[in-house]
Amino acid sequence: MTISPAAAPVSMHGAAPLRQAAQELETVFLAQMLSAAGFGKARSGMFGGGAGEAQFASFLVAEQARAMVASGGIGLAETMFHALKERQT
């Protein structure tokens, strides 16, 4: 009897792509939440960044979200990782 690759348990090597996908999902989620909360909005006033600031604000928000996930995040990535891992076993 042979085990197909799809039915094989997730090895430590195979878990890395799942963990990365879960972390990317949490990063996108947090970036959307930060944007909705007003992070990255152009400042009004005399020394605002203008169109350039507005264009690059999304990059700043994405990096802030990535840093949040790298430091532990809100636990969404870990929950998603375990759910994906269970699905593959």
DSSP symbols for 41-68: PPPPSTT--HHHHHHHHHHHHHHHHHHH
Tokens 């094989």 belong to 8
- Tens-digit pLDDT string for the chain (89 aa): 344 444 444 555 678 999 999 999 999 999 999 999 988 776 665 456 677 777 788 899 999 999 999 999 999 999 999 998 888 87
d(CA 74, CA 63): 16
